[in-house]
Amino acid sequence: MPKIAVLTFPGNNCETETVRALQNAGFQSEVFLWNRTKDELLEFDGVVIPGGFSFEDRGRSGIVSSQEPIFKTLKIMAEKNIPILGICNGAQMLVESGLILADSNNIPACALLWNKRVDNSGTILGTGFYHSWKNIKPVNIRTPFSNFKQTIHIPIAHGEGRFTFTEEMEKEIIEKNLIIFQYVDDEGNIDDHYPINPNGSFKNIAGLSNPTGNVVALMPHPERADEGNAVFESLWNYFKTPWELNNEKITLTDFLSVERKKTDEAEITVLVRLKITDKTEKTFANVLEEENITRREKWGFYMKNNISSEEKITLLSSIISAGELVNENKQWVVAKIDGEWYDWNEGVGFEKNKPRFEEKNCFIVEEKEDFKGIAKHQHLSHIFPNNNIEKISYGVCWEVPENKKEEYVSHSLFSTRVGDFIKDLV
């Protein structure tokens, strides 16, 4: 009887349902903790990574888990054509690890970005976490997890499920038939608008495979519904009578190198740092085995009119005093206004200072679709009408050791490559 490991990480929460679904399909199955001896995993005939919120989704969903040593074992298993399925958060891990698609430097060649629900008129109805029941149908039945023809109705529950690629990769996945499942309507038709497409994924992708077809990233949850049993029964049938997988490989060059933008030119740059422990900062430091890493939230204000520095200070002071941008009980604030750095002191306001960090050792990661910046701009425009703010941007500012900056700028831990770009602070 085939034995399937349900590989779980801190924060996963669907392991019980996944084990039960596999056992109902006929498999031996057990929960396999991420910190067990990695060679033990090689004793299993397949692996399923369940959903949840591993490591609290620090940084972005799945990125921290994908850096764990156990993924080296998963890569060995993938190269041996052992079936591997990632569900929801597990799918995010597979994408972030490069086990689905990666370039010649093992940098992921696709990304799962924030959900974007768009109607037929092009209006964005919502972003971020969304849960519902959706129809998906298999469009490539030559994988261990998709060898059936019927459309199935199963739940989704995720915030970052929008499969996104470079234009070059869009062509590759279509030509190589890597789209495994798509969101469809009740008649099985594809409509790339909400509500049929719940997250804005390219080509309504609900599930994507690696070129060989043995590793599949699936965003909906088949383990949570009876109709989802078809996924696990397909795997059972594969072990009973294996069919030939695709041996064609995709070799990507380095066209996915991180996109650099010029230094931020916002008239006002606000950096916010936690007074208490920043868990994301500490987690990234642990992954990189690097003590000297500092994380700050970054807000950039671009103004409509050429107002004075004093007017900008007054505007920003009003915004912070209103409780926007920062919680003064647990966060520090510094701001760069027209090239000068200022400290924010509660009850006093902004005072000119020298920054307590090395600007040249900092870089900013921003999303190309900056939903947080857009939302903050709309909100502040309602609270402070006629505020002269043309645009607000949001990002994360990382301060790293000088000799490590270029290395970390190119590290997939910090940027998706596909959905982000990087700026220098100076």
Q: Which residue bears the tokens 């009850």?
A: 347
Please tell me the distance from the alpha carbon of residue 397 to that of residue 362, in angstroms, as a whole number. Answer: 6
Run means of pLDDT, 10 residues per run, the chain, 426 residues: 97 97 98 94 98 96 97 96 98 97 85 96 94 97 96 98 92 92 97 97 97 96 98 97 76 64 84 95 96 96 91 94 90 92 87 85 94 95 91 96 93 91 89
Please tell me the distance from the alpha carbon of residue 14 to that of residue 256, in angstroms, as a whole number. Answer: 33
pTM given for the model: 0.94
Amino acid type, 21: A
Query: By the 8 A CB rule, do 273 and 328 touch?
Result: no
Coil, strand or helix: which one is 85? strand
Q: How high is the pLDDT of residue 260?
A: 81
Query: By the 8 A CB rule, do 4 and 48 touch?
Result: yes
Q: What is the per-residue burial (b if ≥16 Cβ within 10 Å, else e) of 210-221?
A: bbbbbbbbbbbb
Handedness of CA 419, 202, 117, 114 (dihedral sign): negative
Q: How high is the pLDDT of residue 168?
A: 84
Domain 3-240 CATH assignment equals 3.40.50.720: no
Please tell me the distance from the alpha carbon of residue 87 to that of residue 91, in angstroms, as a whole number. Answer: 5
Neighbours of 375 (CB within 10 A): 14
Query: By the 8 A CB rule, do 281 and 288 touch?
Result: no
Please tell me the distance from the alpha carbon of residue 85 to that of residue 158, in angstroms, as a whole number. Answer: 17
Please tell me the distance from the alpha carbon of residue 297 to that of residue 271, in angstroms, as a whole number. Answer: 6
Q: Which of these, 254, 241, 216, lies nearest to 88 by C-alpha position?
A: 216
Q: How high is the pLDDT of residue 251?
A: 63
**∠ CA 205-210-211 to the nearest 5 degrees?**
110
Active site members? 88, 221, 223
Tokens representing 85 are 């399925």
Q: Which residue bears the tokens 């309504």?
A: 204
Please tell me the distance from the alpha carbon of residue 419 to that of residue 416, in angstroms, as a whole number. Answer: 6
- Strands 215-218 and 84-87, sheet pairing: parallel
For residue 218, what are the contacts with CB-CB under 8 A and spacing of at least 6? 85, 86, 87, 88, 91, 145, 180, 181, 206, 207, 231
DSSP E strand stretches across 139-220: 152-158, 162-164, 179-184, 205-209, 215-218
Query: By the 8 A CB rule, do 222 and 232 touch?
Result: yes
How many residues comprise the chain? 426
Query: By the 8 A CB rule, do 203 and 164 touch?
Result: no
Please tell me the distance from the alpha carbon of residue 173 to that of residue 185, in angstroms, as a whole number. Answer: 23
Query: By the 8 A CB rule, do 108 and 257 touch?
Result: no
What ranges do the domains of the chain cover?
Answer: 3-240, 260-424
Please tell me the distance from the alpha carbon of residue 190 to that of residue 187, in angstroms, as a whole number. Answer: 9
What is each CA distance from 200 to 126, 127, 177, 220, 278, in whole angstroms? 11, 10, 20, 14, 31
DSSP E strand stretches across 100-214: 111-113, 116-118, 124-127, 130-138, 152-158, 162-164, 179-184, 205-209
User: H helices of 126-267, where?
Assistant: 167-175, 229-240
